Structure 1
Amino acid sequence: MITNILTYLDQNAIRFADKVAIADDRNSLTFAQWKQQAEAIGSVLGETINKQMRRPVLVFVDRRIEGLVGFMGVVESGNFYVPIDCKMPDQRVKLIHDVLNPVAAITTTTADEKILDLIDFQGIRIQYTEAIKHDINKEYLDEIRSKVIDTDPLYSIFTSGSTGVPKGVVISQRGAIDLTEWLVNTFEFDETDSLGNQTPFYFDGSVKDIYICLKSGATLNVIAKKYFTFTKLLMQFLNERKVTTIMWATSAIVLVGNSNILDDNIPHYVKRVFFAGEAMPAKQLKVWMAKLPNAKYINLYGPTEITVDCTYYVVNREFNDDEYIPIGNACHNMEILVFNDNDQLVTVSEPGELCVRGTGVALGYYNNEAKTKEVFVQNPLHNLYDDKIYRTGDIVKYNEFGEIEFVSRKDFQVKHMGHRIELGEIEVAINAIDDISNAACVFIQEKDHIVLYYTTNSGNELDIINLVKDKLPKYMFPNEVYHLTAMPYNMNGKIDRIQLKKEYDI
């Protein structure tokens, strides 16, 4: 039984030593080179952090393969990696840093170094290009490998937090291994496959691309962001790299479908189309299905807290244009429980909260016991032994085919442009602006729009987006902004968000 994700890299560094494993626009590495460079980074880390284990290490990432090498280098050292977007606002990096107190950071560019300076980073700095030249300390790496078990943390990815402080979801080796085994075995990936990665490495959707590559021997091609602006070039890229599988955000699938590029430019080698992140309208998916009728189409669903995905649906029937694709049923070694407000299992067509149990359930939120206890809870069906489930906050229902359909969110957390966002985090950032007296966000699902309402002490309008651009990533920017003379409140003294939505609809 595999207990360490690095076993996949070890095996393929022998089986496919000279085969390209990972490639971007500029560089590529074979499996043997990936392993060698990861071991060098792991050796440097071990020496500089005095052989500490199970501690967080920041890895700066962009649309480049260096981040993937950094990830495996951190795992070689017995620690867990935390992807940091090199374009992330300094303030958000600072918040993540303060939660983690990381022991080290792996940087590639001078811009990465400047971010560490701005957040007053006190840990060890590892420069990628220097680290990969370091001598490999095989004795140390073997010692570390003997101590790692499959419930140890593998990575932490930060999601939005309602208090304005991001939450670091900690995922175990076992969660990632089980996901990888299921994906590769169920969808029959092997060394002849070529993956086209669209999802940024600081989002959990990319975990699938990385670990399918590691286990199966497939080549992982990192698609530069520019290709989604010039979709004709995107199709050329997919064909030149002979990409057989894409695992993209729903929004990316829809973007390409709406561009009409598939009318004249077909990705000839694609045989699997996975989509995830938000509900997929059948109308948009039909564009792809008409142009690539022999491909397999798979809807994947799951929050970061359950190791990427917990349900899947292989599209196997016709849908009307106004329907959404179901999220299906549980992945291997995962169980889905849908509870009503009384914590009873729902009946067919009865909406309820989707909850998950299984090896994919995260270890919790790093250094945040209170938030962990809110959503990682005892299975309400019994109290006979410790049986942890994760409450997703997603409202779903079973259809007449026994498939799960997504309905809505339970709270203020929304899916916007493929990202899970706490509206509260946006409000915290807005309220921190001078002259703001109050701010509230609502989400208009039909338009996929975040709408911000705010009031000011002076009564003057402000250039909100300009004032918040250094505090929030772009995908959290409100799509529409309205200045109010007074904020509506309900009888409980809370902002009346129902009234705000009514005002929007007027």
Structure 2
Amino acid sequence: MSNNASCDALYVNKQIVSYEQLHSMSLYVASLLPKASTQKTDHIAILSHREITAYAAIVACVMADKTYVPLNVKAPKERLVSMLLTAQINTLVVSVQYQHLAIEIKTHLPALELILIEESKLFLNASNHITPFETAEKLSNSIRYIMFTSGSTGKPKGVPISEGNLLAYLDFVVPYCELSSDDRASQTFDLTFDLSVHDLFVTWLSGACLYVLPESALFSPGAFIKKHQLTAWFSVPSTGAIMQKFGMLKAHAYPSLKLSLFCGEALPTSMALAWQKSAPNSKVVNFYGPTEATIACGYFEVPNDYNEQQVVPIGKAFEHMSFAMSSNEELLIAGEQVTSGYLEATVKMNENFRQELSEQGKNVTWYYSGDKVAQHEDGYFIYKGRLDEQVKIQGYRVELPEIEAIAKAFLKNNLVKALVWPKEISSFNKSIYLFVQASKNEDTEQAIIEHMKNQLPHYMQPKKIVWLTSMPLNLNGKIDRNALRAMLE
């Protein structure tokens, strides 16, 4: 991190925290964490949102060589409990303002230890301790963080990312981004979204300052970029599309930006070009990568006036990673960033991780991404959609079978199908529709809606339930998704 402890490290909730203060705050939190010998695992969950406590707790976990597991404060309680059980969490670091939620969770997990953090104590501690940053040596196979993604079985899947996985990412991306202590980088992603890991570690390893956007600015960030003269930007393309729609990408609007990264969903070429004009001094780059391959593993720098595709290509693999294409046009990923598999995974869950012999006779793990691609004659890859029923909503991965599994169990009815509409890759107005073969009943509909709210995060909840007298079937006897989509047109 920054060699100058007095440099700004973090801006959040209208407060500036220096590297010196952040270090002292994190030492305080680290001192509250349990010793390794008293725990079954070194996994620490964090329940906080866009406040200093969250960031100090993450740094504390790194200092203490603990695995951090961020939780979304808006997620349904039942889902949080499921994640804590899957990750074998014994300790939960909680901001005081979320202690009521933490106490509710503890009623389901009585052995869970709660560590309540008051922000005032963090600042008091920061004024009493002055210690320069020192990076502790970590084992490459120790788990640095765990992120949860949607799972097709009805339960979220835990993805453990090792120290080695993360370092491989940072070794390439930190020098690529070329940030310094003069830079001010955005932090738009929720901490449960693995792209947030880039924000924290790339910014702080470069000695730059991380600017956390308040919730109110996430979908209209133009004024925030200008006010704080941000120099580095990273968000899902949806954010840029909303800015474009509402006229916030005017020419030369953001001259302070020098680096603009997008990731998490398909990047429309029209939006990328509009962003280039609004940030004329910025390089615009499309990052690509699933959570299983640590944040991102491919990139494409958008040339000026690029017009070959409607959607910006996912590009080429990072230099220490490899891309390949299977016979059915599926993108395969290998390299140091690929995780070893899911937490508590069945054989079927891990079937996308496959060991194959390289030309040199070494075992190589290839991750079968499920993304359909084409390869350009210049070697880079172009995204063509999904080969399965996974979709992206607001940048989040959503397994439609997970929604179906929850609905089927509640309704005791297997004739259920979830679809996303519109289906176009570049559309940002996607919503989920749930089709059910049954007679419409107002009480049942209200009950399933409430059940979904209690089981799923907001971006996975169906916009509408469509009741059908009979489910359309194709020639193979399977539910005809095209016929269902035709009902929405």
Q: TM-score, with normalisation over the residues of structure 2?
A: 0.89
**Which residue in the other structure is 1:244 paired with?**
231
**Which residue in the other structure is 1:208 paired with?**
198
1:306 aligns with 2:293: yes
Q: Distance in 2 between matches of 1:382 and 1:468?
A: 48
Give the counterpart letter for 1:305 in structure 2.
E
Q: Distance in 1 between matches of 2:45 and 2:348?
A: 22
How far is the alpha carbon of 1:496 from its aligned partner? 3.3
- Give 1:468's match in structure 2, choosing from 439, 452, 475: 452
Indicate conservation of the 8 Å contact 2:45/2:69, yes or no. Answer: yes
- Give 1:356's match in structure 2, choosing from 316, 322, 333: 333
- Give 2:71's match in structure 1, choosing from 84, 87, 98: 84
Indicate conservation of the 8 Å contact 2:46/2:57, yes or no. Answer: yes
- Per-residue CA deviations over 1:470-492 (Å, capped at 9, x if unaligned) read 22111112244311112234566
**Which residue in the other structure is 2:105 paired with?**
116
How far is the alpha carbon of 1:178 from its aligned partner? 2.1
**Which residue in the other structure is 1:18 paired with?**
6
Where does 1:124-203 land on structure 2 (aligned, <5 Å)? 124-129=113-118, 132=122, 145=136, 148-203=138-193
Q: Distance in 1 between matches of 2:216 and 2:274?
A: 22
Indicate conservation of the 8 Å contact 1:254/1:285, yes or no. Answer: no
Indicate conservation of the 8 Å contact 1:307/1:362, yes or no. Answer: yes
Change in 2 beyond 3 A, CA 1:426/1:441:
same
Change in 2 beyond 3 A, CA 1:433/1:175:
same
Query: What is the SS of the residue equivalent to 2:295?
Result: coil
- Give 2:17's match in structure 1, choosing from 26, 29, 35: 29
1:42 aligns with 2:30: yes
Identify the range of structure 1 (328-337 vs 70-79) with the bigger mean alpha-carbon deviation.
70-79
**Which residue in the other structure is 2:434 paired with?**
452
Q: Distance in 1 between matches of 2:270 and 2:140?
A: 42
Q: Distance in 2 between matches of 1:331 and 1:322?
A: 22
Indicate conservation of the 8 Å contact 2:276/2:304, yes or no. Answer: no
1:320 aligns with 2:320: no
1:106 aligns with 2:83: no
How far is the alpha carbon of 1:122 from its aligned partner? 2.0
Q: Distance in 2 between matches of 1:172 and 1:435?
A: 40
Change in 2 beyond 3 A, CA 1:251/1:241:
same
Equivalenced residues, count: 474
Query: What is the SS of the residue equivalent to 1:261?
Result: coil
Indicate conservation of the 8 Å contact 1:302/1:308, yes or no. Answer: yes
Q: Distance in 2 between matches of 1:477 and 1:98?
A: 23
- Per-residue CA deviations over 1:209-239 (Å, capped at 9, x if unaligned) read 101122100000000121135x3xx333222
Q: Distance in 1 between matches of 2:256 and 2:348?
A: 44
Indicate conservation of the 8 Å contact 2:372/2:383, yes or no. Answer: yes
Where does 1:273-292 land on structure 2 (aligned, <5 Å)? 273-292=260-279
- Per-residue CA deviations over 1:21-45 (Å, capped at 9, x if unaligned) read 0121243321122222222222221
How far is the alpha carbon of 1:53 from its aligned partner? 7.8
How far is the alpha carbon of 1:430 from its aligned partner? 2.1
How far is the alpha carbon of 1:169 from its aligned partner? 0.4
How far is the alpha carbon of 1:421 from its aligned partner? 0.7
**Which residue in the other structure is 1:70 paired with?**
57
Indicate conservation of the 8 Å contact 1:435/1:456, yes or no. Answer: no
Change in 2 beyond 3 A, CA 1:369/1:270:
same
Give the counterpart letter for 2:289 in structure 1.
G
Q: Distance in 2 between matches of 1:367 and 1:373?
A: 10
How far is the alpha carbon of 1:255 from its aligned partner? 1.0
Change in 2 beyond 3 A, CA 1:72/1:284:
same
How far is the alpha carbon of 1:386 from its aligned partner? 2.5
Give the counterpart letter for 2:240 in structure 1.
I
How far is the alpha carbon of 1:322 from its aligned partner? 6.5
How far is the alpha carbon of 1:283 from its aligned partner? 1.4
Q: Distance in 2 between matches of 1:414 and 1:380?
A: 31
Q: Distance in 1 between matches of 2:186 and 2:237?
A: 15
Indicate conservation of the 8 Å contact 1:301/1:310, yes or no. Answer: yes
1:378 aligns with 2:365: no
1:224 aligns with 2:208: no
Query: What is the SS of the residue equivalent to 1:469?
Result: helix
Query: What is the SS of the residue equivalent to 1:186?
Result: helix
How far is the alpha carbon of 1:331 from its aligned partner? 1.1
Query: What is the SS of the residue equivalent to 2:34?
Result: helix
How far is the alpha carbon of 1:116 from its aligned partner? 2.2
Indicate conservation of the 8 Å contact 1:164/1:428, yes or no. Answer: yes
Identity value in percent: 27
**Which residue in the other structure is 1:266 paired with?**
253
Indicate conservation of the 8 Å contact 2:158/2:343, yes or no. Answer: yes
Q: Distance in 1 between matches of 2:5 and 2:467?
A: 60
**Which residue in the other structure is 2:399 paired with?**
422
Q: Distance in 1 between matches of 2:251 and 2:306?
A: 25
Query: What is the SS of the residue equivalent to 1:211?
Result: helix
- Per-residue CA deviations over 1:311-366 (Å, capped at 9, x if unaligned) read 0011124233961111110113111111114xxxxxxxxxx111111111113211
Indicate conservation of the 8 Å contact 1:54/1:152, yes or no. Answer: no
How far is the alpha carbon of 1:118 from its aligned partner? 4.8
Query: What is the SS of the residue equivalent to 1:21?
Result: strand
Indicate conservation of the 8 Å contact 1:44/1:134, yes or no. Answer: no
**Which residue in the other structure is 1:5 paired with?**
none
How far is the alpha carbon of 1:502 from its aligned partner? 4.2
Q: Distance in 2 between matches of 1:98 and 1:53?
A: 12
**Which residue in the other structure is 2:222 paired with?**
235
How far is the alpha carbon of 1:437 from its aligned partner? 5.8
How far is the alpha carbon of 1:123 from its aligned partner? 2.1
Q: TM-score, with normalisation over the residues of structure 1?
A: 0.86
Query: Any stretches of 5+ residues in structure 2 without a counterpart?
Result: none
Identify the range of structure 1 (175-184 vs 452-461) with the bigger mean alpha-carbon deviation.
452-461
Change in 2 beyond 3 A, CA 1:16/1:65:
same
Q: Distance in 2 between matches of 1:184 and 1:430?
A: 43
How far is the alpha carbon of 1:245 from its aligned partner? 0.7
- Per-residue CA deviations over 1:372-403 (Å, capped at 9, x if unaligned) read 53111113656943311211111111123322
Indicate conservation of the 8 Å contact 2:255/2:278, yes or no. Answer: no
C-alpha RMSD of the superposition: 2.9
Identify the range of structure 1 (435-444 vs 472-481) with the bigger mean alpha-carbon deviation.
435-444
Q: Distance in 1 between matches of 2:464 and 2:244?
A: 25
Query: What is the SS of the residue equivalent to 1:39?
Result: helix
Indicate conservation of the 8 Å contact 1:70/1:128, yes or no. Answer: no
Indicate conservation of the 8 Å contact 2:391/2:420, yes or no. Answer: yes
Query: What is the SS of the residue equivalent to 1:379?
Result: strand
Identify the range of structure 1 (489-498 vs 370-379) with the bigger mean alpha-carbon deviation.
489-498
Indicate conservation of the 8 Å contact 1:60/1:67, yes or no. Answer: yes
